[in-house]
Amino acid sequence: MWKIGNLEINGKVMLAPMAGYTCSAYRRFMKKFGVDVCVTEMVSDMGLIYGNKETFSYLNATDEEYPLGVQLFGHDPKNIAKAALICLKTMKNISFFDINAGCPVCKVTKTGAGSALLKNPEILYEMVREIKKITDIPVTVKIRLGWDNNHINFLEVIKGLEEANVDAIGIHARTTKELYSGLPHYELIKDLRLKMKVPLIVSGNIFTLDDAINALEITKADAVMVARGGVGNPNLITQINHYFKTGERLPDKDLETQKQYCLELAKGFKEEYGEEAGMRIFRSIALKFFQGFPNSKELRTNLVQKLDSLETLEKILNDYN
Ligand SMILES: Cc1cc2nc3c(=O)[nH]c(=O)nc-3n(C[C@H](O)[C@H](O)[C@H](O)COP(=O)(O)O)c2cc1C
């Protein structure tokens, strides 16, 4: 067991925030496989302050998804706190706030938000302090190793965040410049948790059970974040959780089970976005369920080009054996 503030978390899997993926339907679906804690995708502080409808839709959630954190991004501590207040009025029982200091996308970093905060960590510490002024809900931060290889500053940032009373820290073991490619540098965060006062969640290439075992063993972290590795492979979460509870390794799922999972998640997307938009968004997710299965090229092409309704999805899946 580990804690985010007073919130007790009983397992080792956090569902990573992923813009465009980790919507309410996705979190609800993944939760059933043993996710211990969820977080929304990043939500713009200014979007909330200006009352943007789409931004508010990121706060949609159902009871099954808790414990659930809300991830905010922005560049101004006062605005982040204002946005947190709006969240508190909009959503019930938010489990914690998470500040995004890891997003490498230029549109975000050029405003001073996301991982640009690693270049000005004082602002990041101030954000934690400002949110803590308005609520007792725990505040966590997700960072990267640093901006680039010449500016690896995670130890300094973690220390500053701890001084600001942060409740837990997530770290993606890459620099901003590395985006999402290449191997994450777990060697640089070896034994990191032992140097910290607050819980640590690690992220970066968690695609298999062994990736999770290694990341936790190297860093001594409290939990791993499952991000791209869980898309189309929800069983990964069960494998990780089951292993850490029992020491047993569960097998991968067969084709028929993957088809069922794919259909179930598609239904969730239909409910959340309506059939047309939902299936359009779901195309890139659907094909991930069949990665690595033999002769899946035609299936994957069909999913990308033709998926427009649940009925089409069922037909495409039935035609693939
Ligand atoms: C499409 C996509 C969207 C992401 N969106 C967010 C986000 O909104 N907030 C965040 O903190 N990290 C975000 N991330 C980073 C992931 O949470 C995770 O740290 C990263 O993908 C590394 O893990 P992985 O290599 O196991 O995928 C995103 C990653 C991807 C691929």
Q: Which CATH number does 2-246 carry?
A: 3.20.20.70
CB atoms within 10 A of CB 40: 25
For ligand 1, the distance from its centroid to the CA atom of residue 16, given in whole angstroms, is 6
DSSP string, 169-180: EEEESS-GGGTT
Residue from 13, 15, 18 to probe ligand 1 pocket by mutation (most atoms less than 8 Å from CB): 18
**Facing residues of 44 across strands?**
73
Q: Which tokens in the block code for residue 147?
A: 């901006």
Q: Is 23 a catalytic residue?
A: no
pLDDT for 312:
97
Cβ of 228 less than 6 Å from ligand 1? yes
Average pLDDT over residues 125-134: 98
Residue from 45, 228, 284 to probe ligand 1 pocket by mutation (most atoms less than 8 Å from CB): 228
Cβ of 88 less than 6 Å from ligand 1? no
Residue 197 clears pLDDT 90, i.e. is over it: yes
H-type alpha helices, the chain: 24-31, 45-49, 53-57, 77-90, 106-109, 121-134, 154-163, 209-219, 235-246, 255-273, 275-286, 297-306, 310-318
Instruction: Say which DSSP state 250 is in.
Output: P
Q: Where are the domains of the chain?
A: 2-246, 255-318
Q: 3-class SS at 139?
A: strand
Cβ of 40 less than 6 Å from ligand 1? no
pLDDT digits (tens, 9 = 90+) for 135-182: 999 999 999 999 999 999 999 999 999 999 999 999 999 999 999 999
Residue nearest to atom 23 of ligand 1 (CA): 204
pLDDT for 30:
98
pLDDT for 25:
98
- Predicted TM-score (pTM) of the model is 0.97
For ligand 1, the distance from its centroid to the CA atom of residue 17, given in whole angstroms, is 6
Residue 321 clears pLDDT 90, i.e. is over it: no
Pair 200, 222: CB distance under 8 Å:
yes
Percent of the chain with pLDDT over 90: 98
Give the Cα separation of 75 and 147 in Å (integer). 16
* Cβ neighbours for 99, distance < 8 A, ≥ 6 positions apart: 71, 72, 73, 80, 117, 124, 127, 128, 131, 139, 140, 141, 142
